[in-house]
């Protein structure tokens, strides 16, 4: 296999066959492929035979929410820029196989209780300091810190010991086997321990990534310039990146159509038709999904503490209409959180709840209710408002009257983390696109130990732990995942509605753009064609 990211000269590795996952998948070679699932050729690198990628130019990316430094270590809608500034240890390809990034190779112990990592020797931070094993140790401990509000803190906490073997190799000791360690390695970007407190206030973001931050203008956006000392020779091609905050949908669409912006993942579904017909733009979708739209339920509030009532809500919502009218037809109507690329996906789960208002009303009556009045929080952005309004309409048809409570994205995220949501809320979640166990041990809405819905169940906790700590493969692993899915469907404390397509709108001149599994922008190979 060709090595796409060549390492600096080092002594030959003592390992020639690398175990890439505790389940036994073997990884041969040191190549890295990106998450290149977008269907559009315009989003892919230029084919060979031409003059090659053109260097220079500044790419402008339009987003609808501002960077929130306090959420730097938490997966949220503000995570798009992370991979521009920081790197991670490994990177999934489209088949959920981990590939090298700052780690060049790895080897699991046979019992799954430790992993040995070899690290790149040619990497420096933006301030010139060399990257070493100490930075990996800090990155793990940083996510273990509850102040960081990192969704994968439970997985980070499984790492109980560190054994350095020089500056560029170390062993991580694990309290018990987990099946999502490489989710942690891709989620956990490597930050500078000396400036981390400056990072969480937005004053200084010191990473090893392809671009350096030159300015953050709260409410307006970020400016980044090319990192001339980047460890990938010749990368990035771009001179700089401007991330512009454009919260209004019409203004965002206009910025793309007029060429003021060349890339966005924030166009609401209702507006995609307006950009799809623009001659200089192309719309493409990442098949692995861009998260999911859902209805959250506070199970500590009567009558939502009755799962019959929650199931009534699940039958009431018209998922196909939400897919078409709110998401513009991009994605998948689904009662479960799993995209088709997930090993936990089943068609039976996806269609478990369908639009059946009569059944929903009957369930409400059986629980002793004919009318309910409830609040519903949502993010005050066009796409999220459209989702909330669609839910409001459907629930009204079964006698559930909801009052919409719009709020900004940062506040909504804080309510999610602190379990202070109202009775109902409508948002999007991630984490279903990686190892299935990560959703239930990490995502705030689903976390078996502490979730936003305040739902607790010994059966759910046991099912989640069994899937998370198992080293099973094949049918046995599928059975463990199915137990988790069955509980989610039966208890309905999170009511999934649709897998969101991760929809990219880009200038036809833009090439080489990819997204990571955690929806962070990778512009290592991006360039603007003439």
pLDDT tens digits in sequence order for the chain, 530 residues long: 223 333 333 333 333 233 333 333 322 222 233 344 443 334 443 333 456 798 999 999 999 988 888 888 987 766 789 999 999 999 998 888 999 999 999 999 999 999 999 999 999 999 999 999 999 999 999 999 998 878 899 999 999 999 999 999 999 999 999 999 999 999 999 999 999 999 999 999 999 999 999 999 999 999 999 999 999 999 999 999 999 999 999 999 999 999 999 999 999 998 998 899 999 999 998 766 668 999 999 999 999 999 999 999 999 999 999 999 999 898 999 999 999 989 999 999 999 999 999 999 999 999 999 999 999 999 998 899 999 999 999 999 999 999 999 999 889 989 998 999 999 999 999 889 899 999 999 889 999 999 999 999 999 999 999 999 998 999 999 999 999 999 999 999 999 999 987 899 999 999 999 999 888 999 999 999 97
For the chain, how far is it from start to end, CA to CA, in angstroms? 32
CB 265 within 8 A of CB 285: no
List, in order, residues 6 or more apart from 220 with CB less than 8 Å away: 66, 244, 245
- pLDDT for position 12: 31
**Is 80 domain-assigned?**
no
Q: What are phi and psi of 426, to 5 degrees?
A: -125, 120
CATH number at residue 266: 3.40.190.10
Q: Could you say which of 146, 162, 192 is where a domain stops? A: 192
Q: Could you say which of 192, 220, 246 is where a domain stops? A: 192
Instruction: Provide the β-strand partners of residue 295.
Output: 426, 495
Alpha carbon of residue 162 to chain centroid: 27
Q: Which contiguous run of DSSP H or E holds residue 494?
A: strand 494-500
307-316 vs 357-366: helix crossing angle, rounded to 10: 160
Q: CA 200, CA 195: separation in Å to the nearest integer?
A: 9
Residues 326 and 453 in one domain: yes
Residues 274 and 416 in one domain: no
Residues 176 and 262 in one domain: no
- pLDDT for position 50: 53
Three-state SS for 135-201 is HHHHHHHHHHCHHHCCCCHHHHHCEEEEEECCCCEEEEEECCCCCCHHHHHHHCECCCCCCHHHHCC
Residues 461 and 317 in one domain: yes
**Is 198 domain-assigned?**
no
**Is 522 domain-assigned?**
yes
Range of the domain at 322: 292-500
- pLDDT for position 291: 85
Residues 170 and 268 in one domain: no
* Helices and strands in the chain: count of H runs, count of E runs: 16, 25
Residues 20 and 125 in one domain: yes
Residues 234 and 154 in one domain: no
**Is 137 domain-assigned?**
yes
Coil, helix or strand at residue 347? helix
Q: What are phi and psi of 316, to 5 degrees?
A: -80, -30
Q: Could you say which of 166, 192, 218 is where a domain stops? A: 192
Residues 391 and 492 in one domain: yes
Q: CA 496, CA 498: separation in Å to the nearest integer?
A: 6
CATH number at residue 102: 3.90.76.10
**Is 199 domain-assigned?**
no
Coil, helix or strand at residue 376? strand
Residues 257 and 145 in one domain: no
**Is 82 domain-assigned?**
no
DSSP string, 440-487: HHH-TTT-SSS-TT----HHHHHHHHHHHH----HHHHHHHHHHHHHH
If one counts every other C-beta atom within 10 angstroms of the C-beta of residue 530, the result is: 7
- pLDDT for position 430: 87
Q: CA 403, CA 330: separation in Å to the nearest integer?
A: 28
If one counts every other C-beta atom within 10 angstroms of the C-beta of residue 127, the result is: 13
Q: How many domains does the chain have?
A: 3
If one counts every other C-beta atom within 10 angstroms of the C-beta of residue 86, the result is: 25
**Is 77 domain-assigned?**
no
Residues 423 and 527 in one domain: no
Residues 372 and 301 in one domain: yes
DSSP 8-state class, residue 410? H
**Is 79 domain-assigned?**
no
CATH number at residue 333: 3.10.105.10
Write down the pTM of the prediction.
Answer: 0.84
Residues 232 and 265 in one domain: yes
């Amino acid at each position: 296999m060709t090595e796409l990211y060549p390492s600096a000269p080092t002594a030959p590795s003592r390992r020639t066959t690398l175990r890439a996952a505790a389940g036994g998948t073997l990884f041969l070679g040191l190549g890295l492929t990106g998450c290149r699932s977008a269907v559009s050729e315009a989003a892919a690198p230029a084919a060979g035979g031409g003059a090659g990628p053109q260097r220079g130019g500044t790419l402008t990316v339009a987003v609808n929410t501002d960077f929130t430094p306090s959420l730097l270590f938490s997966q949220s809608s503000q995570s798009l820029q992370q991979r521009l500034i920081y790197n991670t240890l490994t990177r999934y390809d489209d088949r959920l196989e981990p590939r090298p990034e700052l780690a060049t190779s790895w080897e699991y112990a046979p019992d799954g209780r430790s992993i040995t990592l070899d690290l790149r020797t040619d990497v420096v931070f933006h301030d010139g300091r060399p990257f070493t094993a100490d930075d990996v140790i800090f990155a793990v401990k940083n996510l273990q810190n509850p102040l960081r509000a990192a969704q994968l803190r439970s997985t980070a906490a499984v790492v109980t010991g560190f054994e350095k073997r020089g500056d560029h190799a170390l062993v991580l000791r694990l309290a018990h086997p987990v099946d999502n360690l490489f989710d942690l390695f891709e989620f956990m970007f490597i930050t500078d321990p000396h400036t981390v407190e400056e990072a969480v206030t937005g004053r200084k973001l010191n990473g090893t990534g392809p671009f350096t931050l030159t300015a953050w203008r709260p409410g307006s956006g970020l400016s980044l310039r090319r990192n001339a000392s980047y460890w990938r020779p010749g990368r990035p091609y771009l001179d700089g990146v401007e991330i512009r905050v454009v919260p209004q949908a019409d203004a965002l669409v206009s910025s793309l159509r007029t060429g003021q912006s060349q890339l966005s993942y924030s166009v609401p579904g209702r507006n995609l038709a307006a950009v799809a017909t623009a001659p200089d733009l192309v719309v493409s979708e990442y098949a692995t999904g861009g998260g999911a739209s859902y209805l959250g339920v506070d199970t500590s509030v009567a009558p939502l503490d009755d799962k019959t009532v929650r199931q009534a809500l699940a039958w009431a919502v018209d998922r196909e209409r939400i897919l078409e009218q709110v998401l513009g037809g991009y994605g998948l109507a689904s009662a479960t959180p799993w995209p088709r690329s997930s090993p936990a996906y089943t068609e039976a789960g996806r269609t478990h709840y369908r639009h059946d208002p009569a059944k929903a009303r009957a369930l409400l009556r059986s629980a002793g209710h004919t009318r309910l009045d409830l609040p519903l929080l949502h993010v005050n952005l066009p796409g999220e408002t459209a989702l909330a309004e669609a839910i409001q309409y459907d629930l009204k048809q079964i006698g559930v009257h909801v009052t919409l409570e719009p709020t900004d994205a940062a506040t909504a995220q804080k309510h999610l983390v602190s379990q202070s949501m109202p009775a109902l809320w409508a948002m999007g979640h991630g984490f279903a696109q990686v190892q299935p166990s990560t959703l239930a041990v990490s995502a705030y809405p689903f976390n078996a130990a502490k979730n936003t819905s305040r739902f607790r169940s010994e059966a759910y906790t046991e099912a989640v732990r069994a899937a998370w700590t198992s080293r099973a493969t094949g049918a046995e692993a599928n059975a463990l995942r199915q137990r988790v899915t069955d509980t989610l469907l039966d208890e309905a404390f999170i009511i999934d509605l649709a897998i969101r397509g991760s929809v990219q709108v880009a200038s036809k001149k833009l090439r080489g753009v990819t997204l990571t599994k955690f929806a962070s922008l990778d512009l290592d190979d991006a360039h603007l064609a003439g």
